[in-house]
Structure 1
Amino acid sequence: MRTFDLAPFYRSTVGFDRLFSLLDQASDGSPGYPPYNIERTGDNAYRISVAVSGFSLAELSIVAKENTLTIKGEKVANENVKEKSEVLYRGIAARAFERVFQLADFVIVKNASLENGLLHVDLVREIPEAKKPRNIPIAAGAVSTPVIEGSANKAAA
């Protein structure tokens, strides 16, 4: 498969960097391994489930940095096997992988668990109070500024 270097376009365009990043990812040729699901479990709660059958806890790592969640899996060669066995058919993939997810603003990782060959990563979107919309009451009629006693007399003099 051919690969295209889009780096020269990054320097000569402004505002189209996301477009070229998407083209880079599309032409990467990486298969959909491992498969994953993204679910909404609540109003501001999400879950990413990644199929990682054959991987142990020690072989998996999850890193959340800025707005990126990276899930890596690396198989450790098992040298303790005394019997030499010959694999006739390999249907369970044992290759390393790296999945990167772009997270929206204010999304944080709450929990991660491994059960039945599925890695579940729970995410929550927590918007700070300062960023939440708030209702501003509208006063009816003319609003007068309060006059402090004696200050009006001093201003007139």
Structure 2
Amino acid sequence: MRSFDLSPLYRNTVGFDRLFSLLDGVGSVDSAPSYPPYNIERTGENTYRITVAVAGFTDADLNIEVKENTLSLRGEKKAGEEGENAQMLYRGIAARTFERRFQLADHMEVQGAVLENGLLHVDLVRNIPEAKKPRLIPITTASAPQVLEGAGASTH
């Protein structure tokens, strides 16, 4: 039995429909990877932001790739970065290698990424080509045949 309902997300988002469909099809929440945690927010009519918690990672440790409507975020700490004389007594900050994938809707483009205070912000925009945008079709009314004055009247 599922304990989450994604229907409110379907109503309020545009562009991540495939992602929610994939999440909806998952049988168990426990089988989904939980590291690193992330947020998906809508910042405008056609703009989105994915925020991933990547504490302990630098920009050199992270890799962002977009290929065939799939956004891949990878993080890998290089071995020996912490200093050879450091003795770790307790490691509570996870710095393990990760890969997170997001399915993007058609016409979604990555605008940029910013690493700030341990959070990686990836900004997305949906650029719909003019040919695919809805357009209004003007409606004209068929005019009734005009009767010229005096043409239909008989003179006696």
TM-score (norm 1): 0.69
Q: Does 1:121 align with 2:122?
A: yes
Matched, 1:29 2:24: no
What pairs with 1:68-79 in structure 2 (closer than 5 Å)? 68-78=70-80
Aligned residues with identical type, % of pairs: 63
| Cα pair distance change 1:33/1:80, threshold 3 Å | closer
Match of 2:109 in 1: 108
Letter in 2 for 1:33: Y
1:84 Cα deviation from its structure 2 partner: 4.8
Distance 1:30 1:125 in 2: 27
Shift of 1:80: 7.3
Distance 1:93 1:138 in 2: 62
Q: Tell me whether 1:53 sits opposite 2:55 in the alignment.
A: yes
The runs of at least 4 consecutive aligned structure 1 residues that moved more than 6 Å come to none
**Structure 2 length-normalised TM:** 0.70
* Correspondence for 2:141: 140
Structure 1, residues 33-68: CA drift from partner, whole Å, max 9, x if none?
000011111111100000001011111000011211
Indicate the residue corresponding to 2:148 in structure 1: none
Letter in 1 for 2:75: G
What is the rounded CA distance, in whole Å, between the counterparts of 2:123 and 2:89 in structure 1?
Answer: 38
Structure 2 residue runs of 5 or longer lacking an equivalent are 1-20, 144-156
